[in-house]
Structure 1
Amino acid sequence: MLFKNRSLFAGFGIWVGRIFSRIPLSANAWSLLAIVPACFAFYFLFNHLLLYAAGATLIAGFLDIIDGAVARETKTASKQGAYIDTIIDRYVEGIIILGLFFVNIPQIIVPTEIVIALYLFGAFMTTYAKSAAKEKELTTKEISGGLIERAERLLLLVIGLAIGASIPIVFSAILVVLAVLTNVSALQRIRIALSNK
């Protein structure tokens, strides 16, 4: 959904690019740096420190904004850079979601482990539905959009972790929402790919 409103954040992206391009790091380096807070988030989740995990996840998400903004500001955007960014995004999200399996989260209807697994599956299938469509030449355009994309997934997860530190059942509900919406988004992208003539 944020994909449809990216113009609203264009000014913020330009500001981020101008500020962080002054630091002598390439856009690819900023992408790789996101692995660090993701590993910290995993560590915090393993030790049931949800509030700290929320902060680490937020930093990882912000680093993903920085890499693209720096690439545009320094005019170093490339296909290789975009590929590296995509791969790192999957690692970051995967590491953080795997950490959730070590957290004591109240069950809602089905075991929480199943909910987390569905969330992980949906998050990765949302991305794969897009890349598979291009690989199989079902479309020449990039498939984007859906009910929830990566930025929104991370934002919801951060909110859930922050609230879950004091109200665990709310975090359980947010995980259920993430599990449902990520898979619905994947199905939406599959439908878009198959409807292209």
Structure 2
Amino acid sequence: MESDILFGVVPALSTLGFLIVALVIYLAGPGKSRPRKNFILVEYIYWVFGPLVSALAKLGVTPNMVTLTSLGLASLAGLALANGLFFVSTFIFALTVFCDIIDGNLARKTGLTTRGGAFLDSFMDRLAEGVLFLGIAYYGGGNWVTVVAVAALILSYAVSYARARGESLGVNVKVGFAQRPVRMFILTFSILFSGLAAWAGRDVLALQLLGGGSGIIAIIAGQTAFIRVRHVMKHLDAVKQASSDEMAPLPSKSTDEGRVIPTSQIAGEMPA
């Protein structure tokens, strides 16, 4: 537990203290009169990470390098979680969030905003989410927590795949509650509270909190996956029906002699 506090709580509090002091400076100084195009916290994030982004750009670091670094950090977070280092895992995973912020800003600053980079970023986000659930599954030791963590992993991927596959078929699939930020919010706080329980000597409670957080994610992810699948199928069926209606043959008219006259000719027989 001492190592978890030393390498998790101390750097986390130091980073939080730095961000709070920087926020005060931003509000009192250059950020006070700056014209804002975005929400104030968004502008603050651009400002506080600006020097780091500029330094990375001068060093020739690309956004894809930062994205790959994010996956490496997420893997370390999952490894720490598997070994019960909850605070370390939370802090390292928070660094992956910073990487997500930095790679986007770096792409805009260097003019390297590409569709390939956006794809790589999204792909790495899914892998990062996966390694955290694997860490929980390993820590569960094969009990119910392991089962719930694996279920949360599968259903979370189902949510992402339903959107990716649906949009590849031309359907807008931005429906459902359990999008990635929501899942990561629940997961992060369940890990953090598990750390607090372990720090208080409540190891069983820590395990239950991990399982409970994973269970909530599994439930809402399953619901969202179902909603997205139904949404895509309804849309595709509606498109198919519309196409069938357009291609259906025109009705015909039978005469007394039994000869069939196409409807296209009937219009000429109708009175003006």
- Short-chain TM bin: 0.7 to 0.9
1:144 aligns with 2:174: yes
Q: Structure 1 residues 190 and 69, CA, compared in 2 at 3 Å: closer, same or farther?
A: farther
Matched with 1:190 is 229
Matched with 1:31 is 67
Amino acid at match of 1:48: G
Separation (CA, whole Å) in 2 of partners of 1:20 and 1:189: 39
Separation (CA, whole Å) in 1 of partners of 2:85 and 2:124: 24
Secondary structure in 1 aligned to 2:84? coil
Separation (CA, whole Å) in 2 of partners of 1:128 and 1:180: 17
Amino acid at match of 1:172: G
Q: Which runs of 4+ in 1 moved over 4 A?
A: 7-10
| Structure 1 residues 47-89: Cα deviation after superposition (integer angstroms, max 9, x where no partner) | 2111211112222233123222322343321111111112211
1:18 aligns with 2:69: no
Match of 2:156 among 90, 108, 123: 123
Q: Structure 1 residues 19 and 144, CA, compared in 2 at 3 Å: closer, same or farther?
A: farther
Matched with 2:118 is 82
Amino acid at match of 1:148: A
Matched with 1:158 is 188
Amino acid at match of 2:232: A
- Where relative contact order (Cα < 8 A, 6+ residues apart) is larger, the structure is 1
Separation (CA, whole Å) in 2 of partners of 1:17 and 1:56: 18
State the shift of 1:16 in Å.
6.2
Normalised TM-score (structure 1): 0.81
Q: Structure 1 residues 43 and 121, CA, compared in 2 at 3 Å: closer, same or farther?
A: same
State the shift of 1:144 in Å.
2.6
Total equivalences in the alignment: 185
State the shift of 1:13 in Å.
5.7
Equivalences for residues 174-185 of structure 1 within 5 A: 174-185=213-224
Q: Which segments of 5 or more consecutive residues in structure 2 lack a partner in the other structure?
A: 1-37, 198-204, 240-272
Which deviates the most, 15-24 or 174-183?
Answer: 15-24
Maintained 8 Å contact 1:97/1:120:
yes
| Structure 1 residues 118-147: Cα deviation after superposition (integer angstroms, max 9, x where no partner) | 110111111111111133x242x4x33521
Equivalences for residues 81-120 of structure 1 within 5 A: 81-104=117-140, 111-120=144-153
State the shift of 1:98 in Å.
0.9
Amino acid at match of 2:64: N
> Larger radius of gyration, structure 1 or 2?
2
Normalised TM-score (structure 2): 0.60
Q: Structure 1 residues 19 and 187, CA, compared in 2 at 3 Å: closer, same or farther?
A: farther
Matched with 1:52 is 88
Separation (CA, whole Å) in 2 of partners of 1:58 and 1:151: 13
Q: Which segments of 5 or more consecutive residues in structure 1 lack a partner in the other structure?
A: 1-6
Secondary structure in 2 aligned to 1:103? helix
Separation (CA, whole Å) in 2 of partners of 1:117 and 1:54: 20
Separation (CA, whole Å) in 1 of partners of 2:193 and 2:221: 21
Separation (CA, whole Å) in 2 of partners of 1:78 and 1:49: 37
Separation (CA, whole Å) in 1 of partners of 2:43 and 2:231: 30
Q: Structure 1 residues 72 and 39, CA, compared in 2 at 3 Å: closer, same or farther?
A: same
